[in-house]
Structure 1
Amino acid sequence: MNTAHSALCLACILLLASCAGKPAPQPQPAKPVETRQSEKADLGCSYFYFLWGSHAEYYQRYDEALEAYDKAIICDPEADYVMKKIPLVMIKQGENAKAAEWLRLAIQQHPGDSSLYLLLAHLNILDRKENEAIRLYNEALKHEPDNQVILLRLGQLHAELKHFREAEVIFRKLLHADDSLYYAHVYLARLLIQIRDFTGAGLEFERALELNWSAELAYEMADFYIRHEQYAKAAKLFNSIIETDDTDERPVLGLAQTLLLMGRDQEAIDHLNRLRTYSEAPERIDLVIARILLRTNKRQQAKELLTRVASEFASSEARYTLALIAVQEDDTETAIDNLKLISPSDNEFEEAVYLHTRILREAGRIDEVFALLRGVIADPNRRRPLFYVLLASLYEEKKEIDTAINLLENGTILFPTDQQILFESAILLDKKGLQDKAIAKMEQILEFSPDHPEALNYIGYTWADRNINLDKALAYVKKAVELKPENGYILDSLGWVYFRLGRFDEAKAELEKAVRLAPDDPNIYDHLGDVYAALHEFDRAREAYGKAMELFEEAEQKAAVRKKIDALATGN
């Protein structure tokens, strides 16, 4: 063993000595080494350092790897395979900017090397500089106009950017030159789906599958055919996958779903029963079968199957489904018995407690609801944010707003980032007239979730109602509208902000849309009446105010609108 070790050391010394004959300056890995034709390559030295660098890279010692690769290039300046390792290591280090700079310099020295353009374009895409990536692909194509990899990447990028025409031209050009290009057919099929040429997409998918059958492509095509109600084609694809591996659950479940869509329920059940015999989780298959039985009004068979699954496998999903069936059958106690068997570690626990509270509330057993929710909140293993919200809503119904607010504050201490608790707390604070505190809660939500439409809407509307921060209010509400464009209440807020800004025509347009989407909200009619009055459309204002009066329930609100109608009559 000592002899072998000594021989290995001697070999390394001799190899290093072959490099030592030519002293070299300290390497600069941030720049590609220029090719020096006058230097004779030392292949042994270069390969030694290449292996050293590969070993260091494998063990994530990236600085050491860069140094070794740089020495390998000094030994053999023509070693392109080593040179191209350097930017890849920089990327692994997270030094994308350095890698990009290195690649730009390398392209200047090797303008015909397409791999450099491809990697630099990829870095630009990661940096959201898609136009620069397109420029690089086109620059590379000047040197290799028929390079299929570059053309595919360019076409794919155009498609992602919704430059559909440019992408289609590229893919069709590739296929015109070579119809056997699998990826060109796949990418073209996906593009044609986006431009709603579903017939063309189907043809491209079929050609791709003919060229290179794969289960993943077959799944993608089956999903495409299901979405376009071509169920027979989808079923054929699932069967083709099953033929390659009849022990895989996924295609059998897909086939069963397709057969159900075709109205062939019993065939679906037969396939699932066969799958159950070799499934590693037969209870999951039983649950699917039970849902099919329920769907086909075979409730008793479903109950028997679910009861067996609940007993044999302690399935919380089976118990929850049995509880739902019992609710439909007005069998309250059976429903509650099943729900009580669902433990805090089960996925259905939160839903089970919610259903339990709903059953008790509908039965008028309010004291039991309070006891249930107080009990789960008191237990660290069972408390959930939802339970605080449910209990707070009960206190709110009893007009105990302060108690509800305090409860939610306690919930916030335990679940400081829960948006539901924060939102409900803000709404209750608003009802108490504590709008500044409510806004603070909503702003907390936006810290965790900047795209929370209801929080954006609340803050924007409240500012508009106070006639403050109107420009910021407009930005908030516009963002909320982008997130929920068909929400009448948010459109009402947008109209109200426009009104406060004196932009009455825009306010009118938004409020008229809002009232169509939420025709039972008196506040929208009230706002619309204000806008019509500002535009001197007094008859329409009177009509909108009248509708608001009909819908408002509070006498104080009705009186406020009555004053506006009277003011129209007197011209004030």
Structure 2
Amino acid sequence: MTNGPGRPERWATLRNVLPDLLTAIPEQQDEDVTERIGFVWEILVGEKLAGHTRITRVTEKTLFVQVDGPEWLAPLKALDTRILEGLNRSLRTSCFTRIHYDIRPETQPPSSNKRKPKRMRHTQLPEANPTLPVDVGSLDRIADPALKETLTGLAHKFRFVALALACVVGLSNCATIGDTVPGFDIEIAEGTPDFEDSYAVRHISKLNEQNPGRYRDPRAYYHFMMDLKYEREGDFDMAAHHYAKVVEHEPGKEDFITHLMVLYLRIGKLDEALQLGQRGLRTFPDNVRMHTIVGDILTSRGRHAEALEHYRKVSELDPKSPRAFLMAGTALRFLKEYEASREWFHNVSVIDPANTLGFFYYGRSLLDTGDLPAAEEKLKKSVSLRPSMIEARQALAITLEKQEKYQEAITQYRILKKLDPANTVVADRYDTLNEAWDPVTETLTSGTQPLPELPLAEPDIHRMIGAIFYQQVMYLEAIDEFRLVLAQGEDKEVRFTIARIYEVLGRPDKAVQEIEAYRAQKDEPDTVEVLLKLARLYGLDGSMSQSVDLLGLAVNRDPHNHRLFHALTLAYMSLNRNEEALQTIDRAIALNNSHDAYYFEKGALLERMGKYEEAIANMNKALEINPNHSNAHNFIGYMYASRNIKLDRALYHLEQALSIQPRNGYFLDSLGWIYYKKGEPEKALTHIKKALIYTEPDPVLYDHLGDIYFSLENIEEARKAWKTSLVLTRQRLNNAAGEIPDLDRLESKIRNAEELLHTP
């Protein structure tokens, strides 16, 4: 997962803890060139390819790269020019002109593999000595790649890290029962081990007897690294669990307490965050972050007078913090001290002239006190900074209407109708004013009854801040604000937004938890919308049986919705429940027979069931509805080619498909396969090589490549392609997605090629 906006905060904490864990160590001045190139390499080729490559050597003009297998060569070579240009530009040089690729030997573990560390008794662990230089080989005992990367990076900057390694390796070797921690290859007992009798804890205790207070508890370091792991994975519940242990073992560290408060806030444990903050402020009364979080939690609970004291303190400690002034002003508004709040909002606009919320609340305060021209000015500024902000635009419309600037007010109401179509009050106001407005006299028509004053609700400040963070892709900060909104009561929109954030962060399981939490707290039956969202999230999390159950409920709620039957069909197909899938797709077609996708899905399903003629008939029906359905063209062409019939017709369909998607690797593979079947292997090879550039390594594609090379009597290249296909096929056996070659046939082809190669 991408760490996102929270990353700087966590690594700042890492930098703070290391000086306490390690003795003062001189830094190494010369940065390793290969390390810098490796950093640029990962950016240029992307995470997927970088995970299967390793830079082994650098010469004056050549970069030597080891790859995990031949299947990765084609996509890498296709990027050679861009990589070289990017390297030279990033490193401010022009020396690199060539990249040399080597295939990883089969005896060497792949770049992304994790090696399980050898278990040792405590008495077998080497004695840690803080004065010994780092043995880089000892890093191999750390199984988690990210943890190893962190420590390796530290090793480049610190000459002596044996003590830290002893802590981590020692702790990892002392826990030998229970479950395995994912990514660490460390078995732990149920719950969290305390490592009381571990080698590292006993060793550091002895050292501290000689030099009291010099070395920190190694358990804190272990839990700190575990927190980093779980935060990186987006599992903030486990991260908070481990960070609580860090604070337990290092209770006097200000930054640790603050970060644990943030984690508690992020997972909705506001009671724990509040108690921790109140205790922390007794020891660290000038900590701005603690005051802010405590104030925010108190605000969410309606304790505005108490919250105000914390915001006042923050404004004294950090007079350039617009948030402190903004939150203090909102607290005063709830206390109905409008004149006082106006001054705080004025300060926000001075400190941060681009703060849309500052101008909004400043304008609201002026509107409340009757200063309409000034309120109009501030609200217009707020709208100009964030045109989609409904609250500011509605306040502006009311301000204009009160000044009898009806034409401008009508314009604002018209925009509000588009921004918030469900708001019937705004729609009615627009209709009434628009009908009464006379553009000739630029007044309301005579006889128009005075309109009742529109109520202007007090918006939730945390909801608005969270919405701004969300739009700015600052997802973790948005979650923090939305938790404060949920503290005031269940909110469907906020809960679903948090679920969307977790989905974006690659944690559909956490997204499921959010929707399930909403379901658990409401009394009314689930709507179809909720069931659909939850079914999709369960599907993303690999729980397709749950998706099927939820979609079944949705179908029962709305039996005339063809889209629900289509979704249920796809769920059944993912579970290979083909007969049920056929029944539901027929129901979808019965409800809507003009949807090309339904005929395509039915055709794919029939092909899977071996009913080829019916499959092609449905694909042709999809093309009747949508002649540009490229996947249907490809499907028909590939089916004809696979059965070695109607090859000219197959060629026509693939040409149509590629005219729509010219860079689709699977279409290029199909086209190559058709030429192979037509007895034109040279053309086939050209298109298959293009396909290699535009797709990830695919076993069927390499199987086809081997067949084509074999027909061209290039036995060695055919054997290589088939061996690559064999490796990829074995990788997909337990998680087959789509077509895969037959293992026995592949092995037979390879044996045949090897016999031919060894025949004199």
TM-score (norm 1): 0.45
More helix per residue: 1
Larger radius of gyration: 1
Higher relative contact order at CA 8 Å, sep ≥6: structure 1 or structure 2?
A: 2
TM-score (norm 2): 0.35
